[in-house]
Chains A and B, each alone.
Chain A
Amino acid sequence: MAKLSSESLSGTAGPFDRFAKLARPPLEDALLQSLPPSVDRAPSLSLAMREALLSPGKRLRPLVALAAGDLVRARRPAATAVAVAVEYVHAASLVLDDLPSMDDARRRRGRPALHVTHGVATAELAAVALLARAFELVSEAPETSPATRARVTAELAGAIGAGGCCAGQAADLAADPSALTLEDLEAIHARKTGALFVAAVRGGALAGGAGERTLTALTQFARNLGLAFQITDDLLDHEGDPARMGKDTGRDAHRANFATLFGPAASRQLVEELLGAAVETLSAFGPRGGVLADLARVVRDRKS
């Protein structure tokens, strides 16, 4: 099993940190530029979209898409278009997830949730608009062939739709929260969390014309990474600091999750092993996989 970098232990920035430091400002610019112009008579929708999209976040998924694009030497404008679309989808999913009919969360990214500030209806409309805009951006992606645009569209649609986030959320709502098995939890979170990670790496790689073998390897990477991310999420929810998390914690304390299912110590061990497996998948790419491999360390050490 591959070992994770110890850079975090020494406090130095790893390859992903350096990559993120360079890639995040242009990404934020691209996000800002990608917002549609405000529409007459619906200023609240535009404002809600803007707030949902530009609220301070880690931008982990778009950065993953960019890193995957770099891995296969994608042209940066093409990968950026995919990364921005991924962030749109992620922002929409957070808005929907926070709704009273869903998780009924009050805070998100250190701020009041969108439905709290703009109302449920506007939040729902903003989420739908964000999703639509994501597909619009992919369809206009520069330096990208029509076939690639179609494939990326299909990847995002798959991550969102009946086999993706929506299915995961529906399964989550329908499940008996106290009697969730490992398989139930995996089925829910592979769709709610993992699917968009997978779409991000596959979309970024597709922007660079990646072949099926590369896509398969990256899918395996993202699946392991996504599950590790979810388990750390559960651990943070279990024992994290709400101020650092920027969202309500302990909300799921009553229900089974990975942290309660395995226990904290075993959960941390499994996170290590999942991330090790993810890094192992990248070994075929050699040094080019360094940024994504270091992402495993970021996930392991994250505090929010």
Chain B
Amino acid sequence: MLRSEPPPPKQPLRRRRLEALLRREGSTARASQRSAASQSSIVSQQSLEIALNPKEPQASAPIGLDEARQRLRELGYLSGAVERFVFRRALEGRGGLLLPAVLLGALAAAVAALAAVDAGEPGFGSSAASVCALLLHLFLADLLPASLAALAVALWADRSRAPAEAATAVGLLSFAAIFTLWIGGMWGLARAIPPRSLLWGAPVSVAALFLARSARSGFLARAYAHSRVLPARPRSRVFFAAAVAGVLVAVGIFASRGETPAVAAPHPSPRSGTVVVAAIDGLGLDGQPGPALAGMQELFGRGRTAWWPTPAGVSPPEIWTDLATGQPASRHGVRALERVRPRGSPLSLRPPFGTGWYLRRLGPRLSLVSAAPVSGRDRQSLAFWEITASAGLPSLAVGWWASGPWPGAEVVGNEEILARAADGIAADRDALVEFGRRRQDGEPVQTVYLPGLDILRNDPEKRSVELAQVRRFLEDEISRALAGPGALIVIAADSHPRSGALGRMTVFDGAGEWKMIRARSSDVAPSILARVGVPPAQDLAGQPLAALFREGSLETTTVATYGPRIAPAAPQSRQSDREYLEKLKSLGYLN
């Protein structure tokens, strides 16, 4: 039944349609006699009544723009970017969104560290096995920090209100991290940076670029997955600009630390007599005095002494290399007793910036990284006997840490002495035997390092025996120094210092009354050099201690620098390294 009232004004088309349907229904009914198929289109009169007399329409409330967007997104619109790689995955789950960034981050960090190692380790780049092995190790090592960084990025993305800008910032931070690893790593490992090291800028930039884009995409995807708000399309040029800027910064920094040109050896003014330098490790004269120590104190009281506080927690090689070079560890490069050798790498190396936690701590526990002893290859600053030898003054050095062959010098390395020593007494005895056997009259510089007292620091009985042996040696040398034109310089320092132990340098050369002055450990090497007659370099950290020496016995001229130390190539033997490390352990080191 049609209603008598006119249809609502907003219904004319629908009404026309339904009326047409009614008309068709009549024809359909007739047609149904011809075709059974048309039965399916019959609409009941009741249905049509309902259709023609609809309930009062409910006007659709206008939809606001934000709600419209939201509802259209729920229907799958306004999501052009979601079909791109990461956004599609964003709809499937958030867990793996930053996985590409983690993998690329670990790879980029590994490449940056590899580039730093190549700059700091001569010959490293020529060993494909070393490069591949280290790259693999560093990649595995960097997975954990990359994952942690990704976690932070994910948290940031979930809270970001400006994801496009934040994602770009994440990309730029990725760039900064990789370039910091590269530049900082080179800075720490290489004293002088060869120009070819800048070629690494290309792979480092490419790796950083991939990482930045991946991190940005992951951030955007994560932000999208969280908010379902599509960010503005990011711009890629900013990353290219960052790559260029990073390389330019690297060039600028490296230019300031470029390969130092060869420096001519200093011209010495040789003094008459021999300067003997006796380095005695583990001799702290400031502890509880016993009879032997009292005798030693009396012995030292016959010379002029400079003292300095001994830093705690520093390895013997670092302390004694400080003294031998006059430079801090940040410049001479010798810090620990060991280097690391990643499994698969024929070469050992110093861990680059940011990877020590893996190469020194985790890797060895997992048997993925082995240790190699520190050697002369690791030292980047010249020791005093190398400077004197380069200046044309024959020199002898026995038993020093991180020492090795040097032109013009006769050097017996620390490993040679310790390799055959059963204990501290034997070590010092062997060192003194070698020293006595190789020293020659008139040789300007003679030095011996005695580790015995340090090795025996926990064995008072043997330590007393050893003190007596050292005292006999010193008494002979002091007598010789005071009788002749030469000088004896005794350096005593404890590389396992107890509270209050001091380092000291005592000079016996016939100078006047007893004197004790405050000094720095870096003053030792310049003092020795000046006493030998070699002009000290101005870029040494310390200065000659004129107060300790006879007046006029020190060289007063200086030179600008001695230049970098370029270690002669020395074969590495894993077997001998292992034996040496075992020996160091048996002597109480590395514990």
CB <8 Å contact, B80 and A277: yes
Mark contacts of A258-285 with chain B using CB atoms, 8 A cut-off: 1 yes-contact digit, 0 otherwise.
0011110010011001101111111110
Asked if B82 is an interface residue, CB under 8 A from chain A, the answer is: yes
| Complex alpha-carbon distance, A255 and B11, angstroms | 8
Interface residues on A, range: 35 or more
Query: Is B84 a contact partner of A283 (Cβ separation < 8 A)?
Result: yes
Q: Assess whether B13 is in contact with A101, with CB atoms less than 8 Å apart.
A: no
**Which residue of chain A is the closest to B14 with respect to CB atoms?**
A177
Quick check: A180 and B13 within 8 Å, CB to CB?
no
B65 (CB) vs chain A CBs: closest residue: A266
Q: Is A39 an interface residue, CB under 8 A from the partner?
A: no
Assuming A104-B16, A280-B233, is B60 touching A266 (CB within 8 A)? no
Is B63 an interface residue when CB atoms closer than 8 A count as contact?
A: yes
User: Contacts A104-B16, A220-B82, A220-B83; is A178 near B59 (CB within 8 Å)?
Assistant: yes
Asked whether, in the complex, the Cβ of A186 is within 8 Å of the Cβ of B80, the reply is no
Separation in Å of the A97 CB from the closest CB of chain B? 12
Any chain A CB within 8 A of the CB of B81?
yes
Question: Which of B63, B65, B77, B84 makes the CB contact (< 8 A) with A284?
Answer: B84
Q: Point out the residue from B20, B57, B79, B83 that lies within 8 Å of A179, measured CB to CB.
A: B57
CA distance A101 to B21 in the complex (A): 6
CA distance A250 to B95 in the complex (A): 50
| Distance of A70 from chain B, by nearest CB (Å) | 20
* Contact flags B32-72 to A (C-beta < 8 A → 1, else 0): 00000000000000000000001001111011110011011
Give the docked Cα–Cα distance between A221 and B233 (Å). 16
B9 at the interface (CB under 8 A from A): yes
| In the complex, B230 has a CB within 8 A of chain A | yes
B12 at the interface (CB under 8 A from A): yes
Q: Which of A101, A181, A260, A274 contacts B78 (CB 8 A)?
A: A274
Contacts of B264 in A (CB 8 A): none
Q: Which chain A residues lie closer than 8 Å to B152 at the CB level?
A: none
Separation of A266 and B72 alpha carbons in the complex (Å): 13
Q: A255-B13, A283-B233 are in contact. Are A278 and B20 (CB under 8 A)?
A: no
Q: B515 on the interface (CB 8 Å rule)?
A: no
Contacting pair B10 A186 (CB below 8 A): no
> Does B159 sit within 8 A of A, measured CB to CB?
no
Q: B75 within 8 Å of A by Cβ?
A: yes
Q: Quick check: A261 and B60 within 8 Å, CB to CB?
A: yes
Are B80 and A224 in contact, CB atoms less than 8 angstroms apart? yes
Check if B30 is an interface residue, CB within 8 A of chain A. Answer: no
For residue A216, CB closer than 8 A to chain B, the reply is yes
Give the shortest distance, in Å, between B84 (CB) and chain A (any CB): 6
Which B residues touch A283, using CB under 8 A?
A: 80-81, 84, 233
Set B68, B76, B80: member contacting A182, Cβ < 8 A: B68
State the Cβ distance, A252 to closest chain B Cβ, in Å: 7
**Contact between chains at A179 and B60 (CB < 8 Å):** yes
| Smallest CB separation, A216 vs chain B (Å) | 6
Chain A proximity of B83: nearest CB distance (Å): 5
B585, CB-defined interface residue at 8 Å? no
How many Å lie between the Cα of A266 and that of B71 in the bound state? 14
Most chain A CB neighbours (cut-off 10 Å) among B11, B12, B69, B72: B72
How far apart are the CA atoms of A273 and B62 in the complex, in Å? 19
User: How distant is B19 from chain A, measured CB to nearest CB, in Å?
Assistant: 10
With both beta carbons as reference points, the residue of chain B lying nearest to A175 in the complex is identified as B14
Interfacial chain B residues near A128, Cβ < 8 Å: none
A254 near B81: Cβ-Cβ < 8 Å: no
Task: Collect the chain A residues with CB atoms within 8 Å of residue B12's CB.
Answer: 254
For A232-262 the 0/1 string (1 means CB < 8 A from B) is 0000000000000000000110111000111
Q: Which A residues from 203 to 230 make CB contacts under 8 A with B?
A: 216-217, 220-221, 223-224, 227
Bound-complex Cα distance A64 to B165 (A): 35
Nearest-CB residue, chain B, relative to A221: B80
B230, A101: Cβ atoms under 8 Å?
A: no
Given contacts A2-B233, A104-B17, contact A266 B64 (CB under 8 A): yes
Say whether A266 contacts B68, CB under 8 Å: yes
Q: Is B24 an interface residue (CB 8 A)?
A: yes
Check if A1 is an interface residue, CB within 8 A of chain B: yes
A176 at the interface (CB under 8 A from B): yes
Q: Once bound together, how far apart are the Cα atoms of A256 and B62, in whole Å?
A: 10
- B54 adjacent to A104 (CB under 8 Å): no
A40 sits at the interface (CB 8 A): no
Q: Residues of A contacting B263 with CB < 8 Å?
A: none
Are B60 and A220 within 8 A (Cβ)?
A: no
- Asked if A183 CB lies within 8 Å of chain B CBs, one says yes
Bound-complex Cα distance A216 to B85 (A): 11
- Do the beta carbons of B81 and A280 come within 8 Å of each other? yes
Q: Does B262 contact A (CB under 8 A)?
A: no
Residues of chain B from 70 to 121 with CB closer than 8 A to chain A in the complex: 71-72, 75-84, 88
A52 to B42, CA, bound (A): 29
Q: Does residue B241 face the partner (Cβ distance < 8 Å to A)?
A: no
Q: What's the minimum C-beta distance from B268 to chain A, rounded to whole angstroms?
A: 70
* A residues less than 8 Å from B16 (CB atoms): 104
Is B232 an interface residue, CB under 8 A from the partner?
Answer: yes
Cβ of A146: which chain B residues have Cβ within 8 Å of it? none
| Contact across chains for B9 and A183 when beta carbons are under 8 A apart | no
Check A274 against B57 for contact (C-beta < 8 Å). no
Complex Cα–Cα for A181 and B67 (A): 13
Q: Say yes or no: A178 contacts B10, CB within 8 Å.
A: yes
Asked whether A43 is an interface residue with its Cβ less than 8 Å from the other chain, the reply is no
A197 to chain B, nearest CB (A): 13
Query: What is the CB-to-nearest-CB distance from A188 to chain B, in angstroms, rounded to a whole number?
Result: 12
Given contacts A2-B233, A254-B10, A281-B83, contact A178 B68 (CB under 8 A): no
Q: Decide yes or no whether A32 CB sits under 8 A from chain B.
A: no
Q: Is A173 engaged at the interface, CB distance under 8 Å to the other chain?
A: yes
B74 to chain A, nearest CB (A): 9
- Contact check: which of A2, A180, A261 meets B80 at CB < 8 Å? A2
Q: Which residues of A are found within 8 Å of B232, using beta-carbon distances?
A: 1
Give the docked Cα–Cα distance between A196 and B402 (Å): 79
Q: Is B62's CB under 8 angstroms from A261's CB?
A: yes
Docked complex Cα distance between A261 and B59 (Å): 10
Q: Are B81 and A277 in contact (CB under 8 A)?
A: yes
- Is the Cβ of A183 less than 8 Å from the Cβ of B75? yes
Cβ A181 vs Cβ B20 within 8 A: no
Q: Are A186 and B75 in contact (CB under 8 A)?
A: yes
CB <8 Å contact, B63 and A277:
no
Knowing A1-B233, A281-B83 are in contact, say whether A177-B13 is a contact too (CB < 8 A). yes
CA A101 to CA B64, docked complex, whole Å: 34
Least distance between B52 CB and chain A CB atoms (Å): 13
CB nearest to A194 among chain B residues? B77
Instruction: For B69, list chain A residues within 8 Å (CB).
Output: 270, 273
Q: How far is the CB of A220 from chain B (nearest CB, A)?
A: 5
Whole-angstrom distance from the CB of B409 to the nearest CB of chain A? 65
A100 contacts partner chain B, Cβ-Cβ < 8 Å: yes
Q: Are B57 and A176 in contact (CB under 8 A)?
A: yes
What CA separation (Å) do A270 and B64 show in the bound complex? 11
Q: A2-B80, A270-B65 are in contact. Are A252 and B13 (CB under 8 A)?
A: yes
Contacts of A182 in B (CB 8 A): 63, 68, 71-72
CB distance from B227 to the nearest CB of A (A): 14
Given A224-B77, A278-B80, A181 and B11 contact (CB-CB distance below 8 Å): no
CA distance A179 to B77 in the complex (A): 22
B368 vs chain A, min Cβ distance (A): 39
Across the interface, B65 reaches (CB within 8 A) one of A100, A186, A220, A269, namely A269
Nearest-Cβ distance from residue A292 to partner chain B, whole angstroms? 12
Which residues of chain B come closer than 8 Å to A180, judged between CB atoms?
A: 60
- Contact residues in A for B21 (Cβ distance below 8 Å): 101
User: A216 vs B13: C-alpha distance in the bound complex, in angstroms?
Assistant: 38
Q: In the complex, which residues 90-113 of chain A have their Cβ closer than 8 Å to any Cβ of chain B?
A: 100-104
Q: Which residues of A contact B14 (CB under 8 A)?
A: 177, 254-255
Contacts A104-B20, A224-B77 known; 4 new A-B pairs at CB < 8 A: A2-B233, A182-B72, A183-B71, A281-B80
A-B CB contact pairs (8 Å), 9 listed = A179-B60, A186-B77, A220-B82, A223-B77, A224-B80, A255-B13, A277-B77, A281-B83, A283-B233
Which are the 7 A-B pairs with shortest beta-carbon distances? A280-B80, A277-B80, A178-B57, A254-B10, A281-B80, A266-B65, A220-B83
